[in-house]
Amino acid sequence: MKTIAQPIVTRCVLLLLSSLALTSQACADAVTDFYKGRTITLIVGYGPGGGYDLFARLMARHLGRHIPGNPTVVVQNMPGAGSLRATNFLYTVAPRDGATIGSFARDMPLLAILKTNAAAVFDPRKFTWLGSSSDFSRDAYLLMVRKDAPATSIEDARQPGGPAIVVGGTAEGTSGNDIPLVLRDALGINIKLVTGYPDNGAIFLAVDRGEVNGRAADLSTMRSLKPEWLLPNGGMRALVQFARATRHPEFADVPTARELVRDENARALIEVSELSYRMSRPFAAPPGVPAERAAALRQAFDAVHKDRQYLEDAAKLRLEVSPIGGQEVLQEVDRIAAAPPTILDHLKRLIIGGRGGG
């Protein structure tokens, strides 16, 4: 019986493996057929010239050759409400066939979880996450002020009743708005937030013109867009660095927010607010993309970040590349949602209380 059964079992196994191989090849062929000759639209939630736009255009330049069928990838800027407009569009309107992807503010998942804005109509867990081009491990978020600001040291900025540093921001749900509010509450920094600037470039210009005293910005973004701000005689000074467990090597004399907290509640608020930075340059497709196309997009996203040509182009733009995959982004979203309710409630009250530039 054994001598008869073994060949039968072997044939069954071979038939099964052959069937799986044919199915896999059929799926691959279907993905290639779909993307061949097609154009993928990459929606960016900001106007041209900012950090998110730079990362998106760099991705568009290289992504297509790693997707079966080698589609063309074009960038479509869709600014509005700190990228909320683009995030909502990607979730509710964009085709779910794998031919539309997007990049939006790192804080959009937090905005939806806190429910501070009724206009946020998306569930961040349901996006088809591709990943993030940066986990912020080599970056820093800096509160930068002009050297003629009312306070030019962190000690002066924290003096009770001292003059306020006026900083510019775009819209609720973006780091440039929400983090100054957190710094004001958790560290006692005298900050007045002026909102409504249309994009990153407008805020940089407002600082240069002296309309506001400063702003909060990524180190990597300043390297690319405002390198003169980082010069010793550049007219700007960093007061505090955020989203860092330790001081960035290039700012060894600037304290981290964690160093300046006054109690454990403030520390918890800072740490929860920093979670979004692990997905600093997120990319996603709408919910419900066919599984085989979603897998192809994720594999292509991962491959781009190992592409020597992409990395060389990123270095020329002075962009910090430290990628994480789609599953890791989803884990970070879950970590935010699982934060202590008291801390999330506190953060929600801060954001709501900060409306109107207070």
Q: Locate the domains of the chain by residue range.
A: 1-33, 34-137+280-342, 141-276
pLDDT at 354 over 80: no
Q: According to the model, what pLDDT value does residue 7 have? A: 64
Stretch 8-33: mean pLDDT: 64
Please give the model's pTM, rounded to 2 decimal places: 0.89
- CATH of the domain spanning 34-137+280-342: 3.40.190.150
Question: Could you tell me which residues come within 8 angstroms of residue 47 by beta carbon, excluding any fewer than 6 positions away?
Answer: 53, 77, 79, 198, 199, 200, 201
- Calpha distance 299→84 (Å, rounded): 27
Using CA atoms, how far residue 233 sits from 57, 147, 166, 222, 288, in Å, is 31, 10, 21, 15, 51
Query: Strand, coil or helix: what is 173?
Result: coil
pLDDT at 345 over 80: yes
pLDDT at 246 over 60: yes
The answer to whether 34-137+280-342 and 141-276 have equal CATH topology is yes
Q: According to the model, what pLDDT value does residue 312 have? A: 98
pLDDT at 234 over 70: yes
In terms of residues, how long is the chain?
A: 358
CATH superfamily of 141-276: Periplasmic binding protein-like II (3.40.190.10)
**pLDDT tens digit string along 108-141?**
999 999 999 999 999 999 999 999 999 999 999 9
141-146/236-242 β-pairing: antiparallel
324-325/128-132 β-pairing: antiparallel
Structure tokens at 66: 């790693």
Q: According to the model, what pLDDT value does residue 173 have? A: 57
| Confidence bin at 222 (pLDDT 50/70/90) | very high
**pLDDT tens digit string along 174-218?**
777 889 999 999 999 999 999 988 888 899 999 999 999 999 999
Instruction: Work out the mean pLDDT of the chain and round it to a whole number.
Output: 92
